[in-house]
Structure 1
Amino acid sequence: MDILLLSNGKIAGNTHVMEFAGDVIVEQVKRTGAKHFLVIPYAVIRSSHDDRVAMIQATFDRLGLDCVATGIHQAADPVKAIEQAEGIIVSGGNTWVLNKKLHDLGLVGPLRKAVLAKGVPYIGWSAGTNIACPTIRTTNDMPIVTSAVLTSLNFVPFQINPHYLEASVEGHMGETRDERIQEFLEVNQHEPVMGIPEGTWLQLLDGQLSYHTANGKPLKLFRYGEEPVYFEAEQDIQFMMEISC
């Protein structure tokens, strides 16, 4: 496995998507030799799929990578496109729309086979990170589609909350992000949630899980009946791959 799960697409000062994780993306490309990346932009709602592919191509160019980005939405046979992909990138957007589309097109199995069995490198951010969990129940997105499907790719055995924000907004009387996650744990007591803030990512390489950050922010791990625990980038989080939900 060679998986990068980014919290988000951009941080302050970035002009290109995934730029804050540019070094690790370059390392992944060099390590795997992947040149042709299949982009899955189904989560994109407020702009075109073609524009999102072009944004990713611009990032490759910015990083000096001789890589080509192609959108799965342009493929006559999406399953075959996954089978032939040298690398896979799943864009952020609306997780519910993305996950439903993957199930509707029968792409969950092919994606799991490509990434888990064949070792095809995978990069996801936001929605693309949410779908790497067993389910998408810890997304921040609204379920704007009907017949929404919860189960997803299950690359990691725990839930992730991308864009995690530890804050109380003045004048806002609704629940904080922490309170929403605690609600999840009350109902799903054996399913820990990892909150990863903006500018951070998880790397899963050959079964080894590690946390990385471009801005020094720690991840926050939530487990039922316990106080949340912070983990810095240099700390060991491999135990999260051994949990059983």
Structure 2
Amino acid sequence: MELLLLSNSTSDAGYLVHAHAAIRELAGGRTRACFLPFAGVTRDWDSYETQVRDALAPAGIEAHSPHSPHRLSDADCVRAVEAAELIVIGGGNTFRLLQCLRERGLLPAIARQVRSGAARFIGWSAGTNVACPTIRTTNDMPVADPGGLDALALVPFQINPHYFNLVVPGFRGETRDQRLAEFTVLQPQMPVLGLPEGNWLRVSGDRMEMGGAHAARWFLGPEIVDVAPGTLSVPDCATAI
């Protein structure tokens, strides 16, 4: 499998600009991308498609979305995924994204295409969440019922995009670390990678590299381990997928 999992899409440099080199490397000359905009809730899918198409054009990638009901049936959406060289899933609300993927029958099609090597996968934020076994470590509110929390399971661990370890003076709610600790207490066999903004994971077969400027953080049951950018190993406690 060939995956590029970004923590975020935006930066001071512009939309996806910080990841252009990583996107070009992942694409490897492939130019036909199926973009799935279904995480968009407060943004309409047409404008989302245009934004991503414009952002990927400098990398020589032509992105199109099969989202409009009058354009493609659910079966045609599946065929669009099966014909793509690149499958791109953007950010937004993870619950709404998973709902739309499940309703359209796209989860098995995406997993099949990516696992077989027929297509390469790029995701950011919510798109990175659905690459995990479940979406249970998303930061999003459950604004839609996705009919289950299981996702694509392209990697054998959970990711928490937009990760930061920040304590705001006077704030009485749980910190991000405390929320992720709740997950690992109940799921000690499932590691969670806190992936800071500006960082990404590049998965190529059994090899995994983390790009970006920041240290990430593994949550491993009661243990927390900080890891620097570079080669990343999946902790031994990870459940095989």
Alignment pair present for 1:57 and 2:56: no
Q: Report if the CA contact (8 A) 2:37-2:90 is conserved.
A: yes
Residues 126-137 of structure 1 correspond to what in structure 2 (within 5 A)? 126-137=125-136
The answer for unaligned runs of 5 or more in structure 2 is none
The answer for unaligned runs of 5 or more in structure 1 is none
Give the superposition deviation at 1:170: 2.1
Equivalent-residue separation in structure 1 for 2:110 and 2:236 (angstroms) = 20
Give the superposition deviation at 1:240: 4.1
Alignment pair present for 1:73 and 2:70: no
CA separation of 1:147/1:203 partners in 2, compared to 1, >3 Å: closer, same or farther? closer
Equivalent-residue separation in structure 2 for 1:172 and 1:137 (angstroms) = 24
Equivalent-residue separation in structure 1 for 2:188 and 2:108 (angstroms) = 28
Give the superposition deviation at 1:205: 1.0
Taking structure 2 as the reference length, what is the TM-score of the superposition?
0.92
Superposition RMSD in Å: 1.6
From 18, 21, 24, the counterpart of 2:22: 24
Equivalent-residue separation in structure 2 for 1:57 and 1:72 (angstroms) = 13
CA separation of 1:99/1:14 partners in 2, compared to 1, >3 Å: closer, same or farther? same
Counterpart in the other structure of 2:5: 5
Alignment pair present for 1:37 and 2:33: yes
**1:20 partner amino acid:** H
Q: Report if the CA contact (8 A) 2:95-2:145 is conserved.
A: no
From 221, 225, 228, the counterpart of 1:229: 225
Give the superposition deviation at 1:67: 2.2
Counterpart in the other structure of 2:239: 244
Equivalent-residue separation in structure 1 for 2:236 and 2:201 (angstroms) = 12
Q: Report if the CA contact (8 A) 2:181-2:222 is conserved.
A: no
Equivalent-residue separation in structure 2 for 1:199 and 1:212 (angstroms) = 8
Taking structure 1 as the reference length, what is the TM-score of the superposition?
0.91
Equivalent-residue separation in structure 2 for 1:153 and 1:147 (angstroms) = 13
Give the superposition deviation at 1:27: 1.7
Superposed CA deviations along residues 53-109 of structure 1, whole A, max 9, x for unmatched, are 111121123x3x332110120451111111111111100000001111111111111
Runs of 4+ with deviation above 3 angstroms? 239-242
**1:9 partner amino acid:** S
What is the number of residues matched between the two proteins? 235
